[in-house]
A = this chain, B = another copy of it.
Amino acid sequence: MLGELVLVRLKGFDKLSSVDEALSIFHCQLKLDRMSSTWIPTIRALGQVVADDIFAGSDLPPFDRSAVDGYALRAHDTFGASQFNPRILKLTRNDKLGENQAREIWTGNPLPEGADAVVMLEHTRLKTSGLEVWVPVTPGRNVSKQGEDVRNGDLAIQSGTRLKPHHMGLLAALGLTRVSVVEKPRIAILSTGNEIVELGHKPGFGQVVGVNRIIISCLCQELGADSVDLGIVKDDSDEIAEKVRGALERTEMLVTTGGTSVGHADVVPATVNKVGAPGVVVHGIAMRPGMPTALAILKGKPVVILPGNPVAAFFGFEVFARPLIHQMLGIRYEPRPTIVVKMTEKAPSALGRRVFLRVRVSQRKGEYFAEPIRIKGAGILSTMTQANGYVIIPEVCEGLEKGESIKAHLFDKVEGEKHV
């Protein structure tokens, strides 16, 4: 028994897949559909993803309207006007302007019939004799033409757009009380490990509170997916298999953490392979942290098997699960905010591995700097809270020099900026 165990252990990951290979293998074998769509009230749609192209059903503005406070008039009545030779127009309150007439108008008001321009308040003076107009205006001046913002039939919002506050304004302006959005994918999250206890239970010696389910469920929440908590199971193949089967029934994707080292601790990939085909398609990835990550497919659904290490799990999720959730939501591309930073010190890498280096990005005198967060193990949670982003050191790179420029991906705000 010991001999057999050792044999398995020594096998290790003979061959690691590169991150790009892993993504390519996984995505080629997965035929992932976008979730179906559902109609919801517009006022509850913030953060949701538009399912179908939205075309305008009316013009915006719905009528010619004034873009300023001033007087609506006929442009040709102002030709030749100057401060020394003002044109005098007759004020009216009629809905229809005659020749040499003007009507006061406020921003947003519809242009009265007959008017074709607006002169700004400050270019006029009201006298007992009438309205003095000091400048000539051309037809259309200070007028927002009907349909100039959005024309009836125009594509107003593209499918795959995640609704931000400014989109919500456009939806409302178009009079859309309901909007068709992509249903939230359900992501099952399972934590494995004999040493893991539930938050709220006091860990005994050698035990720790499981944090991965919470972190991953929050990452799903931020992405607009629903997480389904499958709890914690021991490193027991039968228990794990039952949870995996349940997840395949009820959810669109399964994320597990723990039990994915080589050797006796690879219980999750081994169990997934027993549950069905094709099972694990990638195991062992040339990345740091996150090397023991495995990717599997069961019943056409993705199973992302992450290491138990919280930081490794975070990056495994970032690289492999996040794009799948985007795909299920029909979002083509939604990167984290990035910024070009200068390294404050040398950061060694690992040739042949893609290294995700946690950094603290800060700003000094208009320049952005990234300080690498020194770590001893990927389980160090406080380094995640010290960091606000990460830089990616490519496989072909031996490390970063002090002062080198590189792009940082931000998962939290950058301190020390001023607004201007």
Q: Is A261 an interface residue (CB 8 A)?
A: yes
| Contact in complex: B376, A67 (CB < 8 Å) | yes
| Contact in complex: A195, B109 (CB < 8 Å) | yes
**Complex Cα gap A66–B314 (Å):** 20
Copies in the complex: 2
Query: What is the 8 Å Cβ interface bit string for chain A, positions 372-386, against chain B (1 contact, 0 not)?
Result: 000011011111110
| Contact in complex: A382, B149 (CB < 8 Å) | yes
Given A208-B173, A209-B172, A166:B380 Cβ within 8 A: no
| Contact in complex: B219, A165 (CB < 8 Å) | yes
**Complex Cα gap A110–B203 (Å):** 13
| Contact in complex: A166, B384 (CB < 8 Å) | yes
| Contact in complex: A156, B382 (CB < 8 Å) | yes
User: A157 — which chain B residues lie within 8 A by C-beta?
Assistant: 385
Count, chain A residues at interface, CB 8 A: 103
CB A76 to nearest CB in B, in angstroms, measures 21
Q: Is A420 an interface residue (CB 8 A)?
A: yes
Within 8 A of B (CB), among A135-179: 144, 148-150, 156-157, 164-175, 177
| Contact in complex: B63, A206 (CB < 8 Å) | yes
**Complex Cα gap A414–B407 (Å):** 14
Given A265-B69, A377-B67, A199:B166 Cβ within 8 A: no
| Contact in complex: A150, B108 (CB < 8 Å) | no
| Contact in complex: B413, A211 (CB < 8 Å) | no
Binds B, one of A24-32, A121-129, A182-190, A295-303: A121-129
Residue from A69, A221, A309 whose CB has the most chain B CB atoms within 10 Å: A69
Q: Is A36 an interface residue (CB 8 A)?
A: no
Given A109-B206, A164-B412, A215-B165, A121:B12 Cβ within 8 A: yes
Query: What is the 8 Å Cβ interface bit string for chain A, positions 236-271, against chain B (1 contact, 0 not)?
Result: 000000000000000000000000011101000000
User: A202 — which chain B residues lie within 8 A by C-beta?
Assistant: 175
